[in-house]
Every structure is written in C-alpha cells, then in structure tokens.
Amino acid sequence: MIFNVFFLGNAGCGKTRLAYAFNKWLRGRRFKSIVCNLDPAAEYFPYVPEFDIKRYVDARKLMVEEGLGPNGAILSSVDRMHKIFRVWFNDILNYNDVDFRIFDTPGQLEILLYRDSAISIISKIGESGRNVGVFLVESKLVREPVSLTVLLMQANITKVRLDMPTVLVISKSDLKLRSDLEMLLSDTEYLENRVIEEGVGGQKSAAILLCRALAQMPWRQRLVKVSSLKKSGFKSLYEIINEALCVCGDLT
C-alpha cells in the first residue's frame, strides 16, 4: 500500500524544505519515496521533484495568458489541475513501486480548504493509496497561546475539510520552543488558562471560546517536532504517519 503524505500548513511553515529533507531521510532508510510538487505557483525548490505540476499547469503562465492577477491565476490553476487530473496523475502513477509519495502543497492553505476542485483532487489521489495529512505548525507561531489556539483550530478545520487522518507537527524546531508546549497541546484547560493569563484585548474572550471548542476535538497525539535544518525528528514523523494510518488509531 502506498502512503500519500500531504504536507499542509500556512505559507512559509516549512512544507517544501521538509518534503525534500524527509524524502531524503526515507531513502536513506531504504524506502522508495518520491516528491510531487502540487503547487502551480512554486518558484523555487531546494530539490528536483520527481513530479512537478508546473509541467502541466503553471500559474505564472496563466497570469499572462488569461490576464489574471496572482491570486486569480492560482485559483484558475487549481481548477485546471482538477479538469485535467487524469492527464497529469498518470505521470505519478508511473512510479508504481514506491512506498511513499510526498505531496508538497500550495503556499496558500485556503486554496486547499475552500476550493472544491482542490478537495476533489486530494480525494481522487486517495483512490490510489492511503492519504495522510501532516499539518505543520511553525515553532515561532506557538510561543503565544492565542496564536497557538487559532492554529489548532485551523488544523482541525483542515482535517475536517480534507477528510483524511491528519497529524500535527511542529516545524523549525531548531528555533526556540516554549518549555510548556507539550502541555499547551495536550491539555485544553491548561491552554485556556494560558490564554486568560497571557492574552490581551478583545481577542482574548474569543480565544477562550475557541479553547472550549478545541476541548471537544483535542489532538490526541504526542508532540512531534521536526527540523529540516538540523535534520531532526524524522523518525518520530515517520512513526506518527504510520500510526495515523494504523487501524488502532492511537497517537499518544
């Protein structure tokens, strides 16, 4: 069974670097793995992906051809990717003896969340293997409890929209982390108390309500931290991906 691993998260959270570094790590452990770029607007890769959607749909070219702005071109690209799915997906299917396909996704997470064509692409890919999402949360955005609360909510929304098992992973862990991060992630009451103590202004009361909603849908998983820079945490990432797809479903 092939694992389709989707790296998800906000622009700049480290998806592209991790796709490259994790792929290399997997290969070093004798797994067969490929990287597939699904970002039609990707400008630069630290690697040459085995599959690049830009060979079929290139947002920059669409800007010129259709007289669109950058955002319009990305939206139009995703719709086009959906329309010609079979054409490009065959290229990926040609790598039929792999264990992992790593999908690097568009910088703008909202395209995946709110565009039906993007959701449909992910679901069609899932017919060829087992989909798992890795939602990356950047270390510097989790130093402050209100920001962490919002990101946790976003991770939940992503899981609901994309309808696949999803794990939460802290990226860029070589940068400073809060010492109570594990508690913040595993105990919503503790998170709420930190929001009350550390939050400011009007956002605080709304964040408290979000914490209470999160208490109904907590991330029951252990803390996984990765750094593409230091090449650390990849074994934990590999293990949690496996566990997310295992029938037992226990990620603690």
CA 58, CA 65: separation in Å to the nearest integer? 11
* Under rule CB under 6 A, residue 11 binds ligand GDP: yes
* Under rule CB under 6 A, residue 225 binds ligand GDP: no
Listed ranges 13-21, 93-101, 162-170, 207-215: which one lies at the site for ligand GDP (CB under 6 A): 13-21
158 binds, among ligand GDP, Mg ion, none (CB under 5 to 8 A by kind): none
CA 215, CA 191: separation in Å to the nearest integer? 10
Provide the mask over 92-121, with x wherever binding to ligand GDP is found by CB under 6 A and - wherever it is not: ---------------x--------------
In the list 64, 175, 209, 215, the residue contacting ligand GDP (rule: CB under 6 A) is: 175
Provide the minimum distance between the beta carbon of 96 and Mg ion in the complex, in angstroms, as a whole number: 26
Side-chain-side CA neighbours of residue 237 (13 Å): 27
* Under rule CB under 6 A, residue 228 binds ligand GDP: yes
* Under rule CB under 5 A, residue 16 binds Mg ion: yes
Listed ranges 50-58, 109-117, 170-178, 237-245: which one lies at the site for ligand GDP (CB under 6 A): 170-178
Nearer to ligand GDP, 214 or 226 (CB): 226
Number of other residues whose CB lies within 10 A of the CB of residue 159: 19
Q: Which helix (H) or strand (E) holds 152?
A: helix 145-162
CA 44, CA 65: separation in Å to the nearest integer? 22
CA 147, CA 177: separation in Å to the nearest integer? 14
β-bridge mates for residue 171, sequence order:
138
Long-range contacts of 83-87 (CB under 8 A, 24+ apart): 83/117, 84/56, 84/57, 85/121, 85/124, 87/56
Provide the minimum distance between the beta carbon of 199 and ligand GDP in the complex, in angstroms, as a whole number: 27
Provide the minimum distance between the beta carbon of 15 and ligand GDP in the complex, in angstroms, as a whole number: 3
Cβ-Cβ contacts under 8 Å for 65 (sequence gap 6 or more): none
Listed ranges 26-34, 61-69, 168-176, 194-202: which one lies at the site for ligand GDP (CB under 6 A): 168-176
Residues that bind ligand GDP (CB under 6 A): 9, 11-17, 107, 172, 174-175, 227-229
